[in-house]
Homo-oligomer: A and B are copies of this chain.
């Protein structure tokens, strides 16, 4: 297993990426499972400053960086020596088994959609977010922005992919799937939700519990919460402000602290044939360590094979 890491992505690159790699190795993982992509001299210098020899770590040099605010498609096309472009090249050619980056999100999405095949049968890949539950658990909300308009069949696939991910990566046994809606009863909602309900109800690969409302997002009612990317994105960005506000107001509340989404170490793109994990731009060492961990777990558990199976 080899996981490629974009060392130049994120606001604190490559320093915090290096720190994350050091933390990951300190957890007992072999450096042989990693392949770092980025400015080789700078990366080696950071390792040296932290008192680590980078001799045993494989580094692929890249002398271009895609900035956080560059136009994704344009940048990927023009900067073929960027760490993101090189990373996708390695992944697509099978030289590595997963690719993670805290860099330009748009470029990561475009790179994934254009270089990595969709899982067999998947209409469109999706991105999700962890939702901290009030009872201490975690839920999964998807889609959170990759698909602003969806068909019922897509939501049905999100439910399956989310379920498999919740089971194998989040460790939730028989995850309860809820359809985000404006009312509890079947038949409620907009046309999309109305048409999606029967598909979820008849889907034997998921444990569908029915509609859930806005008030249920933070309760333990559903583990996997499904909606199109418009609603999901707005919910996620709204939830992020809860953390910001409670910090600003000095509330120091353990639960609201869990709305600091950078803790969760990135989100995978689900529905593509290889693991790609995207981190927040503000990722620090812990986030990088967690992102590598998510990628490793995705490879070890065979989560993508299970998704493919359940999507049939």
Where the two chains meet, the residues of A that have a C-beta atom closer than 8 Å to any C-beta of B are 134, 145, 148-149, 180, 182, 189-191, 193, 213-215, 217-219, 227-231, 233-242, 245-246, 249, 251, 253, 255
Alpha-carbon separation in the docked complex, A251 to B239 (Å): 18
A154 to chain B, nearest CB (A): 13
Please tell me which one of the listed residues B182, B231, B238, B245 contacts residue A255 in the complex, with CB atoms under 8 A apart. Answer: B245
23 inter-chain pairs at a CB distance below 8 angstroms, sorted by A residue, are A148-B189, A182-B233, A182-B234, A190-B230, A213-B234, A214-B235, A214-B236, A214-B239, A214-B240, A214-B241, A215-B238, A215-B240, A215-B241, A217-B234, A217-B238, A217-B241, A218-B241, A238-B238, A238-B239, A242-B242, A245-B255, A249-B253, A249-B255
Given A238-B238, A245-B255, are A214 and B190 neighbors across the interface (CB < 8 Å)?
no
Given A230-B182, A231-B230, A253-B249, are A214 and B193 neighbors across the interface (CB < 8 Å)?
no
Alpha-carbon separation in the docked complex, A4 to B44 (Å): 77
Residues of B within 8 A of A213 (CB): 233-234, 237
Alpha-carbon separation in the docked complex, A240 to B213 (Å): 11
B148 engages A182 (CB within 8 Å): yes
A119 to chain B, nearest CB (A): 24
Known: A180-B234, A215-B240. 16 other contacts (CB 8 A): A182-B233, A182-B234, A189-B230, A193-B230, A213-B234, A214-B237, A214-B239, A214-B240, A215-B238, A215-B241, A217-B234, A218-B245, A231-B234, A235-B235, A238-B239, A249-B253
Alpha-carbon separation in the docked complex, A255 to B245 (Å): 9
A216 to chain B, nearest CB (A): 8
Please tell me which one of the listed residues B191, B214, B233 contacts residue A234 in the complex, with CB atoms under 8 A apart. Answer: B214
A269 to chain B, nearest CB (A): 17
Alpha-carbon separation in the docked complex, A266 to B73 (Å): 48
B191 engages A149 (CB within 8 Å): yes
Alpha-carbon separation in the docked complex, A149 to B219 (Å): 26
A297 to chain B, nearest CB (A): 28
A151 to chain B, nearest CB (A): 12
A241 to chain B, nearest CB (A): 5
Chain B residue at minimum C-beta to C-beta distance from A182: B233
Given A190-B228, A191-B149, are A237 and B215 neighbors across the interface (CB < 8 Å)?
yes
B238 engages A235 (CB within 8 Å): yes
Chain B residue at minimum C-beta to C-beta distance from A215: B237
